[in-house]
Each structure stands twice: as structure tokens, then as C-alpha cells.
């Protein structure tokens, strides 16, 4: 008999504890306890019972009765979805020439040194040209002889002693030797290698006496006062970036050496394998601190649309996606579907039907259902967008630029 008494007493004690806990931690239980006449005695004990009734499970007062759901809310502000695209590109000279010889032969002299600046038209090297100089000399002698003949025929014509046929033959012979001289001079010039552009020479691996062919690379000439940098951006940025847009570039080895530039060209096609598009930037390098071939970090500032800025605590998920609970003018809870776009410090930019100044629930969302009457215990002010850090999107070679939220 004593055993059964102890068991019943323990059960009653557990039931009392459960009822007290229900009343203290679940305001939505108050209407049930009130109808059962238990809420008043529990309050009389002096326990910290939460005020107001909420809905169990889906939210709202059970059986359609009870008080407002108490929550903590926050105001919504809007911010621009401006972002930075960061990509890695490779610099190259705006104008670059590989010097080769038009003809094969033996180098007679090299007129420049490695790393020197040369002006357009300056002599870089020349091949042995004795045969070509002899050809020029013979052509010059033939030209003088043909000119004397032509002058003599002209004098005979003036006196009426030369026929038209003789005159035509003399002029034809003169024209022919003029062409021969031009051809000989052209062959002589082909033995001279000159700079087609002004620029800096690379390291020379040639010396006088070397046998070269038309495929021998004699030197590399770069005009690096303006550098081009090629990089890839995701295809979703097409239409957001345009030619002449500003960019910032800095060497990976010296991030502090940043300089301004512009977009010079955007490729007309998307790479189907990487789903990226090639972009070519232009960077001023008048101080000559950068070199072709350097890896550069390129940053593009992209303008965006004005989007609601919400507290991440307000974001909920279900099988239909993400949403927040917004309060209408009558403080009723309304479900608002959202699309998460970007993260800024402790806030999230979303695409949703929310205006600046709208109020959303950030705490107490588990007690809400559509149309539930809400009584906010506190409404936090909207964040200041100017104090938040912008999101940086990285456009790497793999073009994986989806922001992490």
C-alpha cells in the first residue's frame, strides 16, 4: 500500500511541475490553464509567468482566443547591392614586337645592349652585306650609263637626228636600271634590323658572328608605358560591366602598389567550358614599375539595385524556401518570401516585397502564423547601410563567385 501511495504522489508532483513549466515557458498555454482554473493558483505562487498568449506550433492563440504574440522586431532599411569583383590577370605590353631577320646570314654587328630603350627606326643589328653593297654599286654605275645614253638621245631628238624608237629604248633602259638600283638597295636594307616601335629591349642572346635564320628570335621589344591585363569574369556579369568602366589593379607581390585603369575591351563570346568572358583592362605604367607577365589583382566596382537589408535572425526556411515575418499596419504577421542576395557584416541583403521602414520579427518567430496579432516588446532601429562593409565577389579562374551567406 505504501508503494502505491509513493507512486501516486510522485506522479502528482511531476504533473504539477509540468503544468508550472507549461505556464512559465509557453504563453500559448494560458487560455487552457485559465479555463481549467489553474492559471490563477500558479500565479499566486509568485512564479515568473510570461505575459500574453501565443499560438502553439503554428502560432496564434489556440481555439482563436487569447492575447497578442509578444516578439522582438526590427526595422528594415535598404542598401545598394554594390559589390567588388576581384580577378587575377596577367599583364602584357600594349605594343610588343619580336625582332627577327628577313633573311638568313651572319651577324656583322649588334648596335644595342640588353635592356636598352630604343626609338622607332633605330638600328638594332645588321648582317654581313658585302654582296649587296657590290650589287648597289653596279646598279649605280648602270644608272649613270643609262642616264648618259638618255641625255645623248634627247640632244639628237632636239636636232631631229633621233628616231622615236631610239628615244623609247633609251627611256626604257633608264627605267630598268633605276628599278635594278632600287632592288639592290632593298636587299641591302634587309640586312639591317631596325626597331619598328619605340620600346625597351629584353635580354639579348645574340652576338656578332652568329649564324641566324629568318626564324631566329633576336630580341623582344616592349612598349610598356601602357599595360594590358587579361582576366576572366563570370558570364552573369555581362551587361553589368562596360568598356571604359574604371578598375583598380595591383601586383600580387606588392598589393600596396595599386593604380587606376579602365576596361579597354570585352570579348564577344563566352567560354563554354568555364562559363566566363574575357575582359581586357588598360593600366598606365609611365613610372615603369610594372612589367609584362606580372600577375595582377584586378578589382571592379559594380553598381547594383537597392535591396532590403534585414537581420539574419529574421530569416526562416521551409520546403518552399526562405521567408521572413513582416508586420502590417495592424501589427498582424505576414509571411514574405525572400531571395538571399548578399551578406554585409551582421545583416543580409535580400530581394523581397519589403520597403524601407518595414518591421519584421527577429525573435519569437516560432510562435507566429499568418494573420497572428503581434505585440512587439521592442523594435530595433534600422541599420545604417553606410557603416556596413561591402561584399567582395572573387572572380577566380574557376569563376566561382557565388557569395556565401
Lowest mean pLDDT among 23-32, 82-91, 149-158, 330-339: 23-32
Cell 609611365 found at: 286
Contact 108, 83 (CB under 8 A): no
The answer to whether residue 228 sits within a structural domain is no
Cell 656578332 found at: 208
Higher pLDDT, residue 139 or 22:
139
Which of residues 143, 167, 190 is at a domain's end?
Answer: 190
Which of residues 174, 190, 206 is at a domain's end?
Answer: 190
Pair (31, 76) in one structural domain:
no
The answer to whether residue 278 sits within a structural domain is no
DSSP 293-305: T-EEEEEEEE---
What is d(CA 250, CA 135) in angstroms, rounded to the nearest whole number?
55
Burial class (CB in 10 A: 0-12, 13-18, 19+), 230: middle
What is d(CA 127, CA 130) in angstroms, rounded to the nearest whole number?
9
> Looking at residue 52, what is its pLDDT?
47
The answer to whether residue 351 sits within a structural domain is yes
Pair (77, 159) in one structural domain:
no
The answer to whether residue 313 sits within a structural domain is yes
> Looking at residue 34, what is its pLDDT?
65
Cell, residue 212: 641566324
The answer to whether residue 174 sits within a structural domain is yes
Number of domains within the chain: 3
Pair (75, 148) in one structural domain:
no
Which of residues 190, 208, 224 is at a domain's end?
Answer: 190
**CATH code, domain carrying 160:** 1.10.287
Pair (313, 370) in one structural domain:
yes
Pair (32, 78) in one structural domain:
no
Q: Please report which confidence band the pLDDT of residue 58 belongs to, taking 50, 70 and 90 as the band edges.
A: very low
pLDDT digits (tens, 9 = 90+) for 156-208: 777 777 677 777 788 888 889 899 999 988 988 888 888 998 888 888 888 88
> Looking at residue 389, what is its pLDDT?
53
List C-alpha distances in Å: 72 to 24, 58, 311.
Answer: 19, 18, 12
Query: Stretch 260-264: mean pLDDT, rounded?
Result: 91
> Looking at residue 111, what is its pLDDT?
83
Residue 26 contacts by C-beta under 8 Å, 6 or more apart in sequence? 54, 56
Please check the confidence at residue 397 and state whether its pLDDT lies above 60.
no
Q: Please report which confidence band the pLDDT of residue 391 belongs to, taking 50, 70 and 90 as the band edges.
A: very low
Nearest to 52 by CA among 403, 375, 398: 375
Contact 347, 341 (CB under 8 A): no
Contact 30, 38 (CB under 8 A): no
Pair (77, 36) in one structural domain:
no
| Host domain of residue 36 | 2-51
Pair (10, 78) in one structural domain:
no
Specify the pairing of strand 295-302 against strand 276-284.
unpaired
The answer to whether residue 374 sits within a structural domain is yes
Pair (359, 315) in one structural domain:
yes
The answer to whether residue 89 sits within a structural domain is no
Pair (153, 181) in one structural domain:
yes
The answer to whether residue 347 sits within a structural domain is yes
pLDDT digits (tens, 9 = 90+) for 109-141: 888 888 888 888 888 888 888 888 899 899 999
Nearest to 306 by CA among 245, 360, 349: 349
Pair (77, 14) in one structural domain:
no
Pair (365, 316) in one structural domain:
yes
Pair (318, 358) in one structural domain:
yes
Amino acid at each position: 500500500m505504501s508503494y502505491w501511495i509513493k507512486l501516486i504522489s510522485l506522479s502528482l508532483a511531476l504533473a504539477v511541475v509540468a503544468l508550472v513549466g507549461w505556464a512559465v515557458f509557453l504563453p500559448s498555454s494560458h487560455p487552457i490553464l485559465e479555463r481549467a482554473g489553474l492559471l490563477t493558483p500558479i500565479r499566486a505562487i509568485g512564479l515568473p509567468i510570461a505575459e500574453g498568449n501565443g499560438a502553439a506550433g503554428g502560432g496564434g492563440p489556440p481555439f482563436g482566443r487569447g492575447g497578442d504574440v509578444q516578439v522582438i522586431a526590427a526595422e528594415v532599411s535598404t542598401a545598394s547591392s554594390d559589390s567588388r569583383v576581384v580577378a587575377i590577370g596577367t599583364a602584357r605590353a600594349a605594343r610588343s614586337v619580336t625582332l627577327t631577320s628577313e633573311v638568313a646570314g651572319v651577324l656583322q654587328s649588334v648596335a644595342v645592349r640588353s635592356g636598352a630603350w630604343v626609338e622607332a627606326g633605330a638600328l638594332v643589328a645588321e648582317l654581313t652585306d658585302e654582296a649587296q653593297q657590290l650589287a648597289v654599286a653596279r646598279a649605280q654605275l648602270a644608272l649613270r650609263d643609262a642616264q648618259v645614253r638618255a641625255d645623248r638621245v634627247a640632244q639628237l631628238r632636239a636636232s631631229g637626228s633621233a628616231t622615236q624608237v631610239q628615244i623609247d629604248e633609251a627611256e626604257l633602259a633608264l627605267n630598268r636600271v633605276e628599278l635594278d638600283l632600287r632592288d639592290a638597295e632593298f636587299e641591302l636594307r634587309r640586312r639591317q634590323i631596325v626597331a619598328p616601335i619605340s620600346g625597351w629591349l629584353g635580354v639579348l642572346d645574340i652576338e656578332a658572328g652568329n649564324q641566324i635564320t629568318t626564324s631566329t628570335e633576336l630580341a623582344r621589344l616592349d612598349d610598356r608605358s601602357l599595360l594590358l591585363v587579361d582576366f576572366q569574369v563570370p558570364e552573369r556579369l555581362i551587361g553589368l560591366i562596360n568598356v571604359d568602366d574604371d578598375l583598380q589593379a595591383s601586383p600580387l607581390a606588392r598589393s600596396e602598389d595599386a593604380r587606376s585603369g579602365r576596361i579597354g575591351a570585352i570579348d564577344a563570346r563566352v567560354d563554354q567550358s568555364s562559363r566566363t568572358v574575357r575582359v581586357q583592362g588598360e593600366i598606365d605604367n609611365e613610372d615603369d614599375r610594372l612589367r609584362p607577365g606580372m600577375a595582377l589583382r584586378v578589382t571592379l566596382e559594380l553598381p547594383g539595385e537597392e535591396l532590403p537589408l534585414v537581420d539574419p535572425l529574421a530569416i526562416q526556411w521551409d520546403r518552399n524556401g526562405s521567408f521572413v515575418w513582416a508586420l502590417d499596419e495592424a501589427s498582424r504577421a505576414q509571411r514574405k518570401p525572400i531571395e538571399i542576395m548578399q551578406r554585409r557584416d551582421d545583416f543580409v541583403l535580400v530581394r523581397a516585397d519589403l520597403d524601407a521602414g518595414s518591421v519584421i520579427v527577429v525573435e519569437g518567430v516560432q510562435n507566429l502564423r499568418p494573420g497572428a496579432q503581434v505585440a512587439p516588446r521592442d523594435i530595433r532601429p534600422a541599420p545604417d547601410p553606410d557603416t556596413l562593409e561591402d561584399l567582395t565577389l572573387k572572380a577566380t579562374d574557376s569563376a566561382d563567385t557565388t557569395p556565401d551567406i
